[in-house]
A and B are shown apart, each in its own frame.
Chain A
Amino acid sequence: MPSLPQIDFMAHRRVAMAVSVALVLLSLVAIGVRGLSFGLDFTGGVLVEIGFDQDMEPEGVRVLLERAGYEDSVVQNFGDASTLLVRMPTQEGRDQASLGNALLALVKAEHGSADLRRIDFIGPVVGEELREQGGIAVLVALAVVMLYIMFRFTGKFSVGAVVALVHDIAIAVGAFALFGWSFDLSVLAAMLAVIGYSLNDTIVVSDRIRENFRVLRRSSPIEVVNTSLNQTLGRTLVTSFTTLLVLVSLLLVGGEQLRGFAAALTIGVVVGSYSSIYVAATTLLLLKIDRSSLVVAEQKDSQV
């Protein structure tokens, strides 16, 4: 007969809580102080990715552009040493739509082997719209998810789910601020997927806790929570692990354009699994959940 693990998760809940609070605070500070470095999608401007047949120093191209009168350009290696990424805001007094072509022509004149890999141009108006759209998407997603939590959970469970959600998103976004990774549209999509994923884990754990309060009538709240976590541990770990397997393969071979996306999801999945164990459940204990609060909640329900 297979036996379930018997880990006393809740014994370490104070340490876990301290870690969580520290991580969230660090994230908030990073977001507040360093801010997010928004990608081209949101800032507008021009981005040109150029491939060469040999390794290229970004500095040389940067100087070349500066001499030609282009302001505020950022040149860096992208993926490997023979690929350069040039990014700049739209330039005063120049036609913005042909900026990318002009840039490419300039680099080509200097280095014959330059091969166009990508031009992205986002006009200021479109950049602003994408920012707005992104903001709306986040707000709508949060609103729908909150509504679903209200509809799906009762009382203290919904508080636990919301706390876990905020915890996960704060840390995932915080990592992008802390490391200065570019936050673009695909990262935003990943963050929204993290919202879905974080909740999905919490739902499975919370459901089991609720079920066990009915089944295990003699146990203390801490025991009930511990048993539930142990019962769902296998599932939480296996699911997170298989998701991490594919994310790691995306991170390693998916290429530079998917790196931010995969990184956001990887952080989200790790933090999301941890938070479904510690954050959601610890919040329930902090709120002094016991069998009576389930009963009370259900009575309240029936009055609604």
Chain B
Amino acid sequence: MALGNLIGDRLIRMGREADSDGPEDFRLRFLVLIIALVLGVIYAAPNLFAPDYALQLRSVVSDGRLSPQLEGRVSEALTSRGIAIKSSEYVPDRLLVRFESGEDQLRAKSILEAWLNRDETRYVIALNLASTTPEWLERLGGKPMSLGLDLSGGIHFLLEVDLDSAVRDRLESDAENFRRVLRENRLRYQAAEEWLMDDSLQVAFMDDATRDAAEDALTDTSSEYEVQPATVRGLPGLEMRLRAEELDEIRDYAMSQNLASLRNRVNELGVSEPLVQAAGRSRIIVDLPGVQDSADAKRILNKFANLEFRLVAGPDASAARTERYEYEGREVVLERSNIVTGDRVTNAVQNFDPETSAPQVSIDLDGVGGELMNQATRNNVGNQMGIIFIEREPKATRRMVDGEEEVSFETVEKRRVINVATIQSALGYRFRITGLGLGEARDLALLLRAGALAVPMYIVEERTVGASLGQENIERGALSMMIGMGLVVVFMLAFYKVFGVAAVIALSLNLTLLTAIMSVLGATLTLPGIAGVVLTVGMAVDANVLIFSRIKEELARSPPQLAIRAGFERALLTILDANVTTFFVAIILLTIGSGPIKGFAVTLSIGILTSVFTAVVGTRSLIHLVYGRRSVRRLAI
């Protein structure tokens, strides 16, 4: 507590030193103010340039280049239909076309979709708001604030990645290896039982001797596991657990694989500035500004679609090695093993069969896949091959278990044969697949291109804001800002006169600085963020009020110049003091809070800093400008 007083005294002394108003101090303070003002105006300025409505065209193939003629063809196609193009330019690997209005933008999109993607999906065409910040401002690092999804409209998803299933998959496939090792060493285990227990493998043996021999054999084969003797179902047994490093690696791999696949998928959705980001150990945030149809987005993000190519089994194949499927009302018997799967696909494009105009997917396989396909088909010319289409959809449902709510995650898998055809000749790396509906073909091509998800994911949070509500939020935010600011300005001018003018100028500087700092930091403006700014306007006046009421009091005992000086001096500590608690709270909100809280906390904390600065440096200089260099008899306060 003594420390508190000490710091307080120190602050007062600092205040006094800063306030011993020599001409040098005044010049320094004024210089700081001018620099802040200039920087503030420069970095707040980009927000004044309203963005253009634009379209971004990108080739579907991930590294595909756009032809240099595209720009001319697009411009011709659009102008011939009466749509004015404001400007167009190539930005790295995409074409950006700007329009005068949002109406033109939407019309242009549907025209281009119908024209460029008529036969096959060649381009991703994304709606975009293109920055119009002048180049010199951009070169200085100026950029406008980005708008949160509650203002721009769009979708926010939080996905939970099922990492446990990645570990389970690994355990299951390793269990197969362990069984082989045991068989090779002629060690008999209880074969009938499941090995997989939650997060470990457990196997039981007839006696201790076999168990010990098995322990040696298994420890030798796998360094990734900790093999420990245990009692399994009342028998001597072994428990095998993956080592911690190994678990981390599996989880990291699953996360990065899912992230990569998600990024590809989001790119295919035609979103101009998406965000795909890991959040914590097992979660992924996906923000899709401008997207409206959340059902459609979910279908693409969360789905798993794949293909399996298999030979149709011969009449003498054993039942254990075949599977039965239904195809066009009859039964087909396919071999259980795949020739190749969709994991070997490097590129896939949906287009139409030139003869039948039925939708089809053209596929390129990678080297290994092409080799496997070639080998299998070369030896089976005249036989039949079947293609299985697999869809998996993750579902999370609520159940009541013993009166307790429980959410169960499960993946529903659907498989069906989409095509059975006679192999005419050896196939290579490229071929076409028919037998799917248009929607399915398009999704399949997209998902094969994007790459499979390593493990299923489940949506645990969604916030979708429609474009109309977003626009309304912007308008309401701006209106409450203007009304609030207007009321405060009128009141300050009426109540404090000349000093009120200084306070109002300081308030404008405050808002300019707040905007500039938010823009430079790349902070996102949200609706609660606007509320934070509005609140800042109301509370920022406080510092000025503290100073002015001190000056008023001092006027009772001192001449005006002394009263001004003493007023600033004595108010300084109180100003710092009064703002520090709210600042603490803002920082706590910033670190702990999520979603709406964060947007509010960002503007509140920056607002407090700029408020203190503008009152202590700004108002002070302005008052000095007005009353500083002359003797004053009365203060207009």
Q: Are A2 and B466 interface neighbours, CB within 8 A?
A: no
Between A and B, 5 residue pairs with Cβ closer than 8 Å are A91-B398, A123-B459, A137-B593, A153-B4, A185-B593
Asked if B538 contacts A119 (CB within 8 A), the reply is no
Q: Does A200 contact B396, Cβ atoms closer than 8 Å?
A: no
Q: Is A293 an interface residue (CB 8 A)?
A: no
CB distance from B84 to the nearest CB of A (A): 29
User: Using a Cβ–Cβ cut-off of 8 Å, how many residues does chain A contribute to the interface with B?
Assistant: 88
In the complex, whether A90 has a CB less than 8 A from a CB of chain B is: yes
Cross-chain contact B527 with A152 (CB below 8 angstroms) = no
Chain B 459-489 interface mask (CB, 8 Å, partner A; 1/0)? 1111111101100110011011001110110
CB–CB A119/B463 < 8 A: yes
CB pair B397 A92 closer than 8 Å: yes
B123 to chain A, nearest CB (A): 27
Residues of chain B contacted by A246 (CB below 8 angstroms): 480, 484-485, 487-488, 534-535, 537-538
B-binding segment of A20-28, A60-68, A232-240: A232-240
Q: How distant is the Cα of A257 from the Cα of B396 in the complex, in angstroms?
A: 28
Known A118-B465, A119-B294; judge A140-B592 contact (CB<8 A).
yes
Also in contact, A207 and B574, with CB within 8 A (given A2-B556, A98-B298, A242-B538): yes
* Contacting pair A148 B600 (CB below 8 A): no
Q: Which of A124-132, A175-183, A277-285 contacts B (4 or more CB under 8 A)?
A: A124-132
> Nearest CB to that of A48 among chain B residues?
B464
A232 to chain B: which residues have CB within 8 Å?
A: 549
Q: Judge whether A295 is part of the interface by a CB distance below 8 angstroms.
A: no
A276 CB to nearest chain B CB (Å): 11
- Chain A residues with Cβ below 8 Å from B458 are 97, 123
- Having A193-B604, A239-B541, A243-B538, one finds 12 other A-B pairs with CB under 8 Å, namely A2-B552, A92-B398, A97-B459, A123-B396, A137-B588, A189-B601, A197-B582, A238-B495, A246-B534, A250-B534, A255-B473, A258-B528
CB neighbours of B479 from chain A (8 A): 253
User: Once the chains are docked, how many angstroms separate the CA of A298 from the CA of B8?
Assistant: 14
Residues A126 and B461 in contact in the complex (CB < 8 Å), given A98-B298, A189-B528, A189-B600: yes
Q: How far is the CB of B598 from chain A (nearest CB, A)?
A: 9
- Residues of B525-565 whose CB lies within 8 A of A: 527-528, 531, 534-535, 537-539, 541-542, 545-546, 549, 552-553, 555-556
User: What's the Cα separation between A119 and B295 when bound, in Å?
Assistant: 11
Interface residue? A186 (CB, 8 A): yes
Interface string of A39-61 (1 = CB under 8 A from B): 00100000001010000000000
Whether A141 contacts B538 by the Cβ 8 Å rule is no
For B581, give its contact among A133, A145, A185, A252 (CB under 8 Å).
Answer: A145
Task: Select A235's contact among B397, B466, B468, B549, beta carbons within 8 Å.
Answer: B549
> Are B541 and A242 within 8 A (Cβ)?
yes
Q: Mark B574-598, 1 if CB is under 8 A from A, else 0.
A: 1001111111111011001111110
Also in contact, A304 and B581, with CB within 8 A (given A97-B459, A118-B469, A243-B539):
no
Residue of A nearest to B155 (CB): A119
Those 8 A-B pairs whose CB atoms lie nearest each other, nearest first: A196-B582, A246-B484, A246-B538, A97-B459, A243-B538, A123-B460, A196-B585, A249-B484
Distance in Å from the Cβ of B526 to the closest Cβ of chain A?
10
Are A301 and B538 in contact (CB-based, < 8 A)? no
Among the stretches B166-174, B326-334, B381-389, B399-407, the one at the interface with A is B399-407
Kindly list chain B residues whose C-beta atoms are within 8 Å of the C-beta of A140. Answer: 588, 592
- Known contacts A97-B459, A121-B462, A141-B584; A185/B469 CB under 8 A: no
Determine the distance from Cα of A257 to Cα of B151 in the docked complex, in whole angstroms.
Answer: 12
- Is B407 within 8 A of A301, CB to CB? no
The reply on B320 being an interface residue by CB < 8 A is no
B1-36 contacts to A, CB under 8 A, are: 1-5
Q: Which of B397, B476, B556, B597 contacts A185 (CB 8 A)?
A: B597
Q: Which of A120, A148, A254 contacts B476 (CB 8 A)?
A: A254
- Across-interface contacts of B292 in A (CB, < 8 A): 116
List the A side residues contacting B539 at CB < 8 Å: 197, 239, 242-243
The total of Cβ contacts below 8 Å across the A-B interface reads 272
Query: How long is the Cα–Cα vector from A67 to B546 in the complex, in angstroms?
Result: 62
- Chain B residues with Cβ below 8 Å from A118 are 463-466, 469
B298 A249 Cβ-Cβ under 8 A:
no
Q: Is the CB of B480 within 8 A of A137?
A: no
Cβ of A185: which chain B residues have Cβ within 8 Å of it? 593-597
The distance from the CB of B437 to the nearest CB of chain A, in whole angstroms, is 20
User: Residue B492 at the A interface, CB < 8 A?
Assistant: yes
- Would you call B466 and A116 a contact (CB within 8 A)? yes
Return the chain A residue nearest B539 by Cβ.
Answer: A243
**Contact residues of A between 207 and 256, Cβ < 8 Å to B:** 207, 231-232, 234-235, 238-239, 241-247, 249-250, 252-255
- Residues of A with C-beta under 8 A to B180: none
Q: Are A186 and B468 in contact (CB under 8 A)?
A: no
Task: Find B407's partner among A1, A96, A116, A196 (CB 8 Å cutoff).
Answer: A96
Q: Is the interface of B mostly helix, strand, loop or mixed?
A: helix
A164 within 8 A of B: no
- Known contacts A150-B1, A242-B488, A244-B538; is-contact A193 B398 (Cβ 8 Å): no
In the assembled complex, the CB of B162 is this many whole angstroms from the nearest CB of chain A, namely 13
| Interface size, B (range) | 35 or more
A200/B582 in contact, CB under 8 A? yes
The distance in angstroms between the C-alpha atoms of A92 and B466, with both chains bound, is 27
Interface of chain A, helix or strand or loop or mixed? helix
A14 at the interface (CB under 8 A from B): no
Assess the A151–B3 pair: CB atoms within 8 A: yes
Give the docked Cα–Cα distance between A253 and B2 (Å).
48
Q: Are A261 and B528 in contact (CB under 8 A)?
A: yes
Q: Provide the residues of chain A in CB contact with B466, threshold 8 Å.
A: 51, 115-118
A177 to B329, CA, bound (A): 63
- Known interface pairs A100-B462, A123-B461, A133-B592; A254-B495 also in contact (CB < 8 Å): no
The verdict on A292 contacting chain B, using a C-beta distance below 8 Å, is no
Determine the chain B residues whose CB is within 8 A of the CB of A105 once the complex forms. Answer: 295
Contacts of A115 in B (CB 8 A): 466, 468
Contact of A148 among B488, B581, B596 (CB under 8 A): B581
Give Cα A238–Cα B546 distance, bound, in whole angstroms.
Answer: 9
**Does B431 have its Cβ within 8 Å of any Cβ on chain A?**
no
User: Is there contact, CB below 8 Å, between A234 and B552?
Assistant: yes
Q: Does B491 contact A (CB under 8 A)?
A: yes
Q: Is the CB of B468 within 8 A of A192?
A: no
Q: Is A94 an interface residue (CB 8 A)?
A: yes
A260 → chain B, closest Cβ, in Å?
11
A256 to chain B: closest residue by CB: B476
A29: interface (CB < 8 Å) = no
Closest residue of chain B to A94 (Cβ to Cβ) is: B397
Residues of A within 8 A of B593 (CB): 133, 137, 185, 189
- Chain A residues with CB under 8 Å of B86's CB are none
Asked if A255 contacts B582 (CB within 8 A), the reply is: no
| Contact of B395 with A by CB under 8 A | yes
* Residue from the list A41, A148, A243 in contact with B580, Cβ < 8 A: A148
- Interface residue A169 (Cβ < 8 Å from any Cβ of B): no
Residues of B within 8 A of A117 (CB): 465-466, 468-469
Complex-state Cα separation, A42 to B113, whole angstroms: 42
Q: Contacting A186 at CB < 8 Å: which of B484, B485, B585, B597?
A: B597
Contact (A95, B469) CB under 8 Å given A141-B585, A200-B582: no
- Could you say which residues of chain A place their CB within 8 Å of the CB of B594? 130, 133, 185
**Cα A103 to Cα B484 with chains together (Å):** 38
Binary interface encoding of chain A residues 183-203 relative to chain B, with 1 for a CB under 8 A from any of its CBs, else 0: 001101100110111011101
Contacting B at CB under 8 A, from A147-162, are: 148, 150-154
Among A92, A151, A185, chain B packs the most CB atoms within 10 A around the CB of: A185
Q: How far is the CA of A102 from the CA of B2 in the complex (A)?
A: 64
User: B585 touches which one: A3, A41, A192, A257 (CB < 8 A)?
Assistant: A192
A87-116 contact mask (Cβ, 8 Å, vs B): 1 or 0: 000111111111011000100000000011
B535 nearest CB neighbor, chain A only = A246
A residues within 8 A CB of B583?
196
